[in-house]
């Protein structure tokens, strides 16, 4: 004979938890203003500190505004003569050139990136982005929302 036990529906509890997790997750349009800036998006330093990079800014378009997406979309801009840190990490990148042109060094190979060129940077590949040209180099960078911290390497 079965024992009569009172139980709750797990799906009702999960529905409430999911709804709470997505409470601040709202569709939003970040209008491009001009000169590669977006309404509601702040320009930030590339990294908090360090002497291994120069003349680069970051704007996080998707990933810092309450979204629960599994990716982050960021816009980086490297001024003429600037460069990112030479680093390695377990996560991958997708880089899409949208302004000017630049160079990405992956291991010992150099890739020239022009407008709408798309570059995949595999996990654990030492890499650095540079701008040896006379105009700003801007690119979108798509990465996993959950990612490891980069290890800075010597150039």
Catalytic residue set: 141
The structure tokens listed for 118 are: 């798309």
The neighbouring-strand residues paired with 152 are 87
**Closest CA relative to residue 100, chosen from 125, 117, 83:** 117
Q: Is 11 helix (H, G, I), strand (E, B) or coil?
A: helix
Confirm if 79 and 138 have CB atoms less than 8 A apart: no
Could you give the angle at the alpha carbon of 83 between the alpha carbons of 149 and 79, nearest 5°?
A: 125
* Alpha helices per DSSP H over the chain: 10-21
The neighbouring-strand residues paired with 119 are 95
Could you give the angle at the alpha carbon of 78 between the alpha carbons of 144 and 95, nearest 5°?
A: 35
């Amino acid at each position: 004979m079965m024992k009569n036990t009172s139980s709750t529906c797990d799906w009702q509890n999960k529905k409430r938890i999911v709804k709470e997790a997505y409470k601040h997750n709202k569709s939003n349009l970040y209008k491009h203003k001009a000169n590669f800036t977006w309404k509601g998006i702040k320009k930030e330093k590339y990294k908090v500190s360090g002497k291994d990079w120069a003349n680069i800014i970051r704007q996080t378009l998707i990933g810092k505004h309450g979204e629960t997406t599994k990716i982050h979309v960021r816009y980086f801009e490297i001024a003429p003569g600037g460069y990112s840190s030479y680093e390695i990490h377990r996560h991958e990148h997708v880089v899409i050139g949208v302004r000017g042109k630049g160079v990405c060094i992956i291991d010992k190979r150099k890739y020239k990136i022009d407008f709408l060129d798309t570059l995949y940077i595999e996990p654990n590949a030492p890499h650095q982005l540079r701008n040896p040209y006379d105009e700003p180099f801007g690119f979108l960078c798509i990465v996993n929302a959950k990612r490891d911290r980069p290890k800075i390497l010597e150039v």
